[in-house]
Structure 1
Amino acid sequence: MRVRTFALAAAAALAVAGLSAPAHAGTTATPGAPTGLSVRDVCGRPAPGDLRCFAQLRTDLPHGTASPGGTAPGRRGAASDGTDAKPAGFGPAELRSAYGLPDAGGADQTVAIIDAGSTPNLAADLAVYRQTYGLPPCTVDDGCLRVVNQAGEAAPLPGDQGWGPEISLDVDMVSAACSACRILVVAADSAAPDDLAAAVDTAAALGATEISNSYGGEEYSGTGRLAAHYRHPGVAIVASSGDYGYQIPQVPAAYDSVVAIGGTSLSTVDGKWTESAWSGAGSGCSAWTAKPGWQHDPNCPGRTVADISAVADPATGVAVYDSADGLDWAVAGGTSASAPLIAGVIALAGHPELFDDASYLYEHAGALRDVVGGSNASEALDCGGDYLCTGVAGYDGPTGLGSPSGLDGFGG
């Protein structure tokens, strides 16, 4: 009862005070990260009323085709300049190894990516990423890649909204998990909640089997009005839990029809993959969304975020390729990495109809890798070691039920 009361009181106090996620504009140190690690939020502080993307980029590594030896692990492959180089960050082979994923599957699935605005070199950049890691081509010409506006038309696309690296990260992570999946990018007119919600409806109408949303904003009494846009029976909808630790939950992740994706730190110890809760992974207890019947954690009377997780810590980040934003190869993180990765895993298993909500995961939690260790508490908001902000055995807020361990937990 003490923890439950604390969680609700803390959320209410933050709401009354008008506090929101830190701006993190420019380059900042990542809490709890190794000395010298610094990142920047791709989207910075959004305009009033807008949602923000959750992509983070490492700024302590030189951008370019390669990082010799790699501060974060990477897979050796041909870089964009034709040399044999090793992009820093985890590549598809490492991610498939870490999560026990098969190389084949998902050919009948279409994973939609919802983002604000467009980026000019997306098709070419995706080609570089996939060629570097030996993945099959996915192009507009062969019908694998489709980019449309909020109305579902190929043109005109909305202009750049500053989400370019986010869009590249999204398509790269879907490719890493499910190289045979088709990719549908729906470019919302803006980062306004109504535009992004309309883009989700468009994705579902165009036949998406999974829809990934790597953005959010703090839940409040009025955010429920858009919940219906994130409920499309037969379509698996996932959303990032956010990058600012234990706090008021983010929407759309807090909606009960959405699979909320938390974040981990991923590394190898003695040749074995290991994970712990990432300090930035979003978690929280909803004061506005009722407790789903399939969620039974004891210290939150409402919807608890998150449901499942994957790598999100930029200190153990993933490789991304983006030529339009002065990056070339870069190392990325944030729950913007884990959400499209999990969407790709669901697609790889091939049963999106099981994910009208997260209930299937709770019924098959034993097939997932339990993530133990780490915390996303802060000086401003601490749950006293409770599961709401601490990676504990069984369910916890930062990592949910754990991370993928093969496809059994996804109906595969």
Structure 2
Amino acid sequence: MMKNQHLTKFNASALALPALALCTAAMLSACGGGGADNAAEAPVVLHAAPLATGSTTLVLDPGTLPAEDAQRMAQPSFHMAPIELAAPDDHADSATAPVHAQAVPTEFRHLSTRRLTMQALQGRQMEAPRGQSQQAVAAPAATASVVATYTPAQVRAAYGLPTLPAAGSALTAAQAAQLGAGQTIYILDAQHDPNVAAELAAFNTKFSLPACTTKSIAPTAGLPLAAASTGGCELAVVYSTASGAMTSTQPAYDAGWASEIALDVQWAHATAPLARIVLIETADASYNNLLGGAKLAKAMGPGIVSMSFGGAESSGTTSSDSVFAAPGMTYLAATGDSGAGVSWPAVAPHVLAVGGTTLHYSGSGLRSEVAWSGTGGGVSLYTATPSYQTNAVPGMGTPARRTVADVAFNADPSSGQYVAMIAPGSGTVRWGSVGGTSLSTPQWAGLIAVANATRALNGKAALGAPHAALYGGIAAVPGTYASAFADITAGSDGSCAACTAKTGYDQLTGLGTPNVSSLLSTLSGLTIAAAPQVGSASIQGTVGTALTFTVSTVAANPVGYALTGAPSGMSITSAGVVGWAAPVAGTYAVTVTAKDSKTGLSGQGVYTVVIAPLSAPVLTSGTISGKVGVALSFSAAASSANPVTYALSGAPSGMTISTAGLVSWAKPVAGVYTVIVTARDSKTGLSGQAKYTVQLTNGGPVITAAAMTGVAGKPMTGLITVVDNGASSVSITISGVPLGMMFQSSGLSVMPYWSAPVAGSYQLKVVVTDNAGGSAQLTIPVTVASR
């Protein structure tokens, strides 16, 4: 036996892999122990990076659907032949055995296979008679009197997957990787299948596949999930909300979706038997809820998400594209089972769209396939052509927009594959021959899981979105393409010009079906040349201020930049810094292209540059009120990006304005004045004005007097002063005067005089009126003490 070989038991509990210890050494200066050398070290002078002059606005993409699209309903993409199969033999080594053939009862041959369930078949309550489908293309029914059904071992042999080791045998790390060890496959479906674990157990037992341990994930569990076990399959079921969270609320049962769930789980497991499977069930089949399930998978990630459902695309469904783009995540979706046509989410540019074929395999030699008549495929009406779909791919041409399918696998229910089904409340396992692009999708998910496991063993990152690898790394390389894919060149799914399979890429089967051994060998060592990713943003600047900003670019290698649609004078440096010395007012859509210097791949982003015109200082007009003779001041400060100078016009004598925009008048004179304040920008020369109406009115008389005190028999005096600015005549009335007191006036002053005061307390009430109707009054206390 080889030494230092890491082994695990097939179907055992663990795969012993060496732990990786990550050590980080922190190198610190001036920490002591440096002796005299430390003193000689020159200080490090740090210089701050220059600041961009343009402000950046990023539009975040939550990946939400418009209301009308959120409520659309998707349909599962499975077909079942109208026959309940006899239970397959308990025979693990069926790879070379003839495919099972079973006659379809005559009375069932007219039935549609689309979304046919075992319950409906048993009750002879069919979903739709053949030819009465509401779809544009009639669903294929059991066109032959005999249905062929393949076992997992036969499918593995036909497509070149490695033979399953005998139960209990020891596996090397490489062998475990070929079975998807350490990877997670998310099965995203609507509604609920209460017997999914029991169905999978029956399937595993019948075909000698590794058993799966059922695991529970609490709705409150922290995300992302812990890494998947490398020693065996695990099955977990979670329920998702439209927001992408987990919930404890179990969805309602639906026979059609339960059939879809059974199919997806069993054949993802048959393809990657050691991968962890997380079944995500949504409350219903609305786009909004299914998108929430995709968001939950992303939060749980990394992993592969299998979506065997679809519905109509629209201009609104493109708003969800960002949900299917995440590092370490692969999303796959069925292209549909109604013939030529495009469906969501398969059409999304980051989703691998899986079409279908009709398989013929005798148990030895090469398989043969034609495009299945029910497979979907076509050109999107709304999604732009992705960078990976170029004329470098044979047969691709120059597509007008995103074109599906990308790849294919067996999908015809007449060349179907076994699925175990258990009705609610029953323990009886029934077997169906199931197909549809629902069948091809989870098997491709399993292949990606195996590829990722093998890449991980080789120290390479997960494929993520595999399009660049499949199109650019394989299909664009003639010898590699012929080895990794079987090119499907026959079969049709409609009557359109592009509805027939052909050499190279076609809409029915994409690049073709996988020659798995060669495909995995290529993918396991492939360094994926990803195009640079250039961000998009809105940049705000101002006329007269030089504009600078940095383009956001993610690239594996150095890139060169180019600008398209840039205004005169705008340029970009090799570091991705855009500059414009003298911006001109306007809005500009500038496309930034970053080209990888090694791979030649390019990425683009659009920067919307908005240059605001120069604006004059802004002042606010108003009405100012004051009183004659009372010092007046008010602020006329302007709003401006630069310092300003102020000037007054129409101002009365004595009114001034400060450098801060404060208007002052020490001795206001009665009247109404229209004063114009002009503020001039010291940098741009632009001026702004405001009109102030200044109203100065007579304030009325003001009386000032102190209390009078004296001693009986001794003369006493006082002083009453009146101020009444602007008045032409003033009169004063004094009441409460003790006998003997006299008054002498001079201007606006009155002097009380009492030559022989009498002891007591008195109150002089003084009332002053003027010709303008103003008045004032004051009470003056007079206190005379006895001798």
Per the alignment, do residues 69 and 310 of structure 1 end up closer, same or farther by CA in structure 2, a change over 3 Å counting?
Answer: closer
SS of 2:274's partner is: coil
Q: State the 1:358 CA deviation.
A: 1.5
Whether 2:361 is the aligned partner of 1:268: answer: yes
Can you list the C-alpha shifts for 1:345-368, whole angstroms capped at 9, x where unaligned?
A: 110112583232522111212122
Q: 2:200 aligns with which of 121, 126, 139?
A: 126
SS of 1:191's partner is: coil
Paired with 1:109 and 1:131, the residues of 2 have a C-alpha distance of 22
Structure 1 stretch 324-333 or stretch 255-264: which is displaced more?
A: 324-333
Per the alignment, do residues 190 and 356 of structure 1 end up closer, same or farther by CA in structure 2, a change over 3 Å counting?
Answer: same
Matches within 5 A, 1:305-320: 305-320=404-419
Per the alignment, do residues 398 and 320 of structure 1 end up closer, same or farther by CA in structure 2, a change over 3 Å counting?
Answer: same
Q: 2:493 aligns with which of 369, 376, 394?
A: 376
Partner amino acid, structure 1, of 2:489: V
Q: Which has the larger radius of gyration?
A: 2
The equivalent of 1:362 in structure 2 is 471
Partner amino acid, structure 2, of 1:376: D
Question: Contact 2:71 / 2:287 at 8 angstroms: preserved in 1?
Answer: no
Per the alignment, do residues 278 and 107 of structure 1 end up closer, same or farther by CA in structure 2, a change over 3 Å counting?
Answer: same
Q: 1:71 aligns with which of 92, 101, 118?
A: 101
Higher strand share: 2
SS of 2:414's partner is: helix
Whether 2:403 is the aligned partner of 1:304: answer: yes
Question: Contact 1:262 / 1:310 at 8 angstroms: preserved in 2?
Answer: yes
Q: 1:169 aligns with which of 263, 276, 280?
A: 263
Q: 1:97 aligns with which of 157, 166, 173?
A: 157
Partner amino acid, structure 2, of 1:393: T
Partner amino acid, structure 1, of 2:161: L
Q: 2:352 aligns with which of 229, 237, 259?
A: 259
Whether 2:76 is the aligned partner of 1:53: answer: yes
Paired with 2:518 and 2:464, the residues of 1 have a C-alpha distance of 14
Paired with 2:71 and 2:447, the residues of 1 have a C-alpha distance of 34
Question: Contact 1:164 / 1:324 at 8 angstroms: preserved in 2?
Answer: no
Can you list the C-alpha shifts for 1:206-237, whole angstroms capped at 9, x where unaligned?
A: 12410000001121221112222222221111
Q: State the 1:88 CA deviation.
A: 6.7
Question: Contact 1:254 / 1:260 at 8 angstroms: preserved in 2?
Answer: yes
The equivalent of 1:323 in structure 2 is 422
The equivalent of 1:344 in structure 2 is 446
Q: State the 1:108 CA deviation.
A: 0.8
Question: Contact 2:179 / 2:271 at 8 angstroms: preserved in 1?
Answer: no
Structure 1 stretch 263-272 or stretch 285-294: which is displaced more?
A: 263-272
Question: Contact 2:302 / 2:328 at 8 angstroms: preserved in 1?
Answer: no
Partner amino acid, structure 2, of 1:346: I
Structure 1 stretch 156-165 or stretch 264-273: which is displaced more?
A: 264-273
Paired with 1:161 and 1:312, the residues of 2 have a C-alpha distance of 22
Per the alignment, do residues 72 and 408 of structure 1 end up closer, same or farther by CA in structure 2, a change over 3 Å counting?
Answer: farther
Matches within 5 A, 1:165-204: 165-204=259-298
Can you list the C-alpha shifts for 1:377-408, whole angstroms capped at 9, x where unaligned?
A: 14xxx22xxxx321111111111001111244
Question: Contact 2:493 / 2:500 at 8 angstroms: preserved in 1?
Answer: yes
The equivalent of 2:746 in structure 1 is none
Segments of 5+ residues of structure 1 without an aligned counterpart are: 1-46, 74-86
Paired with 1:332 and 1:243, the residues of 2 have a C-alpha distance of 13
Q: State the 1:334 CA deviation.
A: 0.4
Q: State the 1:66 CA deviation.
A: 4.5
Q: 1:400 aligns with which of 495, 510, 520?
A: 510
The equivalent of 1:150 in structure 2 is 240
SS of 1:62's partner is: strand
Question: Contact 1:91 / 1:176 at 8 angstroms: preserved in 2?
Answer: no
Paired with 1:72 and 1:224, the residues of 2 have a C-alpha distance of 44
Give the TM-score taking structure 1 as reference length: 0.78
Partner amino acid, structure 1, of 2:195: N
SS of 1:115's partner is: strand
Whether 2:250 is the aligned partner of 1:250: answer: no
Paired with 2:488 and 2:161, the residues of 1 have a C-alpha distance of 17
Paired with 2:308 and 2:159, the residues of 1 have a C-alpha distance of 20
Q: State the 1:307 CA deviation.
A: 0.5
Question: Contact 1:72 / 1:90 at 8 angstroms: preserved in 2?
Answer: no
The equivalent of 1:30 in structure 2 is none
Question: Contact 2:99 / 2:150 at 8 angstroms: preserved in 1?
Answer: no
Paired with 1:178 and 1:369, the residues of 2 have a C-alpha distance of 21
Structure 1 stretch 297-306 or stretch 122-131: which is displaced more?
A: 297-306
SS of 1:58's partner is: strand
Structure 1 stretch 227-236 or stretch 106-115: which is displaced more?
A: 227-236
Per the alignment, do residues 261 and 143 of structure 1 end up closer, same or farther by CA in structure 2, a change over 3 Å counting?
Answer: closer
Higher relative contact order (CA 8 A, sep 6+): 1
Question: Contact 2:189 / 2:282 at 8 angstroms: preserved in 1?
Answer: yes
Per the alignment, do residues 259 and 112 of structure 1 end up closer, same or farther by CA in structure 2, a change over 3 Å counting?
Answer: same
The equivalent of 1:281 in structure 2 is 375
Per the alignment, do residues 143 and 312 of structure 1 end up closer, same or farther by CA in structure 2, a change over 3 Å counting?
Answer: closer
Partner amino acid, structure 1, of 2:77: F
The equivalent of 2:628 in structure 1 is none
Paired with 1:169 and 1:306, the residues of 2 have a C-alpha distance of 21
SS of 1:314's partner is: coil
The equivalent of 1:333 in structure 2 is 435
The equivalent of 2:211 in structure 1 is 137
Paired with 1:69 and 1:361, the residues of 2 have a C-alpha distance of 31
